[in-house]
């Protein structure tokens, strides 16, 4: 009886926890454990975060223009890039509908926030919805999906090095918006891309038009104040924002000390896929970027507002048990995550072409090249 109970709680026949085993609970059990107040969306509270973040963005820009000092510019670049990332997270909440119950408010705020940082709101929202609906599915997931071995083997050595060598993957987001990932086709700007249904084309056109308007505004301001000054004021913070986005989204699905499964076919379910996501502690940045590190509950229930995620996670952990991967406690700055990133990129290269439960495998030749580069 004891052995049967252990196996039902994710233990294999040897008594070790198996993260790929079917969980002994249902998603309804997790939902029932989350307090009712965690599901309540307060648009005034959501808007207060928008006002906070936008105010900081303008204050930083004003300070940079006023100081115009090389002592201040590096501080500004990091701080402003971090705030661009915080703005993105709020637009992301609009896309999930966790910002408010008002679809028009969500769309208007989402377009303003995302267009300001050159993200096509509906184009990205729709592909991100696909990611959530298929998280952990090798064949259908959308974000940082592992390549099957046959696709990986078609990449030349230089492409492999670019994809798996820091810092190059941390600048992948703009390329992804235009071309998606290896093995996938389409663009977040093209309404006729296979990312979108015919009913969604008008929405994508609107977002692409908003993105284009922002690009024109930036070009005009650049012409007015000079491209060098505009690059310092907007361009470098944008690159810092992209680094934040790629770092956080990658580490929420990769880099755990224990290799986690990916699924195909009948072995995949919404719950099992969601349980392969990983929470992260970002130290003092947790509050700045709206607790995006509480990622497991967000993936399972994206309609929960970000300001309730910590409480919801705490309530759900007793139900999830060992299927919840407790994040390593961070200092003020999450330097510990750099090791997770580098180790994962050096080892997590592709998955098997077959099998309904698969784990990342390592290209030993690439691993040796990356190891040599690290010590040169």
pLDDT digits (tens, 9 = 90+) for 33-48: 999 999 999 999 999 9
If you ran DSSP here, which 8-state letter would residue 220 be given?
A: H
Count the neighbouring beta carbons within 10 Å of the beta carbon of residue 195.
21
Residue 372 pLDDT more than 80?
Answer: no
Q: Does 335 reside within a domain?
A: yes
pLDDT digits (tens, 9 = 90+) for 41-82: 999 999 999 999 999 999 999 999 999 999 999 999 999 999
Q: Does 21 reside within a domain?
A: no
Contacts (Cβ under 8 Å, ≥6 apart) of 290: 49, 86, 89, 90, 93, 306, 307
Which residue stretches of the chain are H helix?
2-8, 27-33, 43-67, 73-96, 103-116, 121-133, 149-152, 157-164, 173-179, 201-225, 227-230, 236-251, 270-274, 285-288, 295-300, 309-320, 336-347, 364-375
Q: Does 4 reside within a domain?
A: no
Contacts (Cβ under 8 Å, ≥6 apart) of 3: none
Contacts (Cβ under 8 Å, ≥6 apart) of 80: 57, 60, 61, 64, 237, 240
Res 8: pLDDT: 46
Q: How many domains does the chain have?
A: 1
- Which residue range forms the structural domain that includes residue 346? 39-371
Percent of the chain with pLDDT over 70: 94
Q: Does 322 reside within a domain?
A: yes
**pLDDT band with cut points at 50, 70 and 90 for residue 146:** very high
Residue 318 pLDDT more than 60?
Answer: yes
Contacts (Cβ under 8 Å, ≥6 apart) of 219: none
> How many Å from the N-terminal Cα to the C-terminal Cα in the chain?
56
Q: Does 262 reside within a domain?
A: yes
**pLDDT band with cut points at 50, 70 and 90 for residue 158:** confident
pLDDT digits (tens, 9 = 90+) for 248-304: 999 999 988 889 999 999 999 999 999 999 999 999 999 999 999 999 999 999 999
Residue 161 pLDDT more than 80?
Answer: yes
**pLDDT band with cut points at 50, 70 and 90 for residue 366:** confident
Res 5: pLDDT: 35
Residue 368 pLDDT more than 90?
Answer: no
Instruction: Report the C-alpha dihedral over residues 242, 246, 249, 254, rounded to 10 degrees.
Output: -170
| Residue 351 near residue 148, CB atoms below 8 Å | yes
Handedness of CA 6, 9, 11, 12 (dihedral sign): positive
Percent of the chain with pLDDT over 90: 85
């Amino acid at each position: 009886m004891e052995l049967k109970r252990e196996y039902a709680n994710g233990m294999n026949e040897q008594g070790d926890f198996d993260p790929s085993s079917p969980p002994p609970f249902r998603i309804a059990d997790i939902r029932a454990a989350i307090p009712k107040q965690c599901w309540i969306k307060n648009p005034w509270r959501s808007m207060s975060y928008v006002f906070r973040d936008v105010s900081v963005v303008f204050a930083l820009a004003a300070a940079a223009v006023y100081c115009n000092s090389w002592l201040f510019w590096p501080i500004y670049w990091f701080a402003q890039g971090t705030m661009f990332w915080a703005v993105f997270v709020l637009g992301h909440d609009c896309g999930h509908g966790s910002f408010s119950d008002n679809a028009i408010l969500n769309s208007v705020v989402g377009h303003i926030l995302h267009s300001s940082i050159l993200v096509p709101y509906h184009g990205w929202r729709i592909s991100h919805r696909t990611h959530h609906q298929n998280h952990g599915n090798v064949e259908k997931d959308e974000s940082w999906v592992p390549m099957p071995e046959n696709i990986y083997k078609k990449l030349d050595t230089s492409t492999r090095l670019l994809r798996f060598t820091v810092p190059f993957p941390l600048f992948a987001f703009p390329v992804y918006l235009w071309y998606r990932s290896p093995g996938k086709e389409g663009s977040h700007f093209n309404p006729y891309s296979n990312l979108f249904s015919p009913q969604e084309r008008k929405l994508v056109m609107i977002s692409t038009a908003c993105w284009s308007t922002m690009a024109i505004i930036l070009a005009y301001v650049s012409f007015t104040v000079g491209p060098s000054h505009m690059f310092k004021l907007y361009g470098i913070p944008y690159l810092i924002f992209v680094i934040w986005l790629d770092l956080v989204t990658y580490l929420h699905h990769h880099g755990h000390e224990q290799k986690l499964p990916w699924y195909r076919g009948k072995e995949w379910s919404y719950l099992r896929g969601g349980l392969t996501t990983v929470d992260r502690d970002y130290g003092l940045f947790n509050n700045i970027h709206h607790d995006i590190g509480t990622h497991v509950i967000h993936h399972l229930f994206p309609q929960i507002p970000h300001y309730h995620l910590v409480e919801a996670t705490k309530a759900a952990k007793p139900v999830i048990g060992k299927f919840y991967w407790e994040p390593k406690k961070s200092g003020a700055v999450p330097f510990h995550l750099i090791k997770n990133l580098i180790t994962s990129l050096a080892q997590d290269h592709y998955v098997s072409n077959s099998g309904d439960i698969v784990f990342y495998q390592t290209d030993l030749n690439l691993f040796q090249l990356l190891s040599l580069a690290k010590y040169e």
